[in-house]
Amino acid sequence: MIKDTVEIDNFLEDTEFEIIQKFSEKLIRENPLGTRNGTVGFPYEKSLVQKMLHEKLSKILMPFKVHRSMILNEIDPWAIHTDWHKDDEDPYCAVLFPVDFSNKPVHTIVFNEKAYDDDWKSTQEPKNHDWSEHELRLLSHISEPTLQLVTMKKIMKWEQKKLIAWNRDLLHCSDNFTNETKTKTALVLFLSFDEKV
């Protein structure tokens, strides 16, 4: 991945998407997540996901290892955060495959600013970013003081069969999808660089 964000429409074939959809539903059914945001991890190396996706991902990404693999079930919109600190030595990028979002317009939003821990607000100076009405609607779950600490890089719309990826040091969040749908589900991989390759 040369750029710090990537979107590829129709990255998955229909049959691949259907397999991931059924796999996600099965994991969530077997591991109920309750009424809050949650994830169900799975062993990537032993999964159908690895067999289907590893070679395809290797063609578009730098050499990588999958540090964590999970199904995300999101009920409340994520606040702005970083995916950097996941206890791996050489973080690379996060890869997301939208699975279920009731075919409503929902998004992952990535900002220009970088962060390496949960205390990111203390390292950012206020910006004078001019937010559009559309952006403010998507980010209506984020407080005004927090919004002043970031600037927009990319709004990545969720679509079936799509690949969405961003460098793990980039601050990002979900949109306020509760305006459109009650829940959304995705397959998420946190990748590390593979220095051995």
Q: 3-state DSSP call for residue 174?
A: strand
pLDDT(170) > 60: yes
pLDDT band at 189 (very low <50, low <70, confident <90, very high): very high
Q: pLDDT tens digit string along 137-155? A: 999 999 999 999 999 999 9
Binned at pLDDT 50, 70 and 90, residue 197 comes out as: low
Residue pair 89/52 in contact (Cβ under 8 Å)? The answer is no
- pLDDT score at 34: 66
Q: What's the number of domains the chain is made of?
A: 1
Residue 171 sits in a domain whose CATH number is 2.60.120.620
- pLDDT tier at 10 (50, 70, 90 boundaries)? very high
Angle between helices 48-60 and 14-30 (to 10 degrees): 130
Mean pLDDT value of segment 164-192 = 96
Residue 106: per-residue pLDDT:
97
Which pLDDT does position 35 carry in this prediction? 65
Residue 36 has pLDDT above 80, yes or no: no
Strands laid side by side in the 184-193 sheet: 5-8, 163-167, 91-100, 184-193, 64-74, 38-41
Question: DSSP letters along 102-155, please?
Answer: TT---EEEEEEEE-SSTTGGGG---------HHHHHHTTTS-HHHHTT--EEEE
Q: What residue has token string 């980010």? A: 139
pLDDT band at 135 (very low <50, low <70, confident <90, very high): very high
- Do 160 and 98 form a contact (C-beta atoms < 8 A)? yes
Residue-number span of the structural domain to which 129 is assigned: 5-193
Mean pLDDT of 101-114: 96
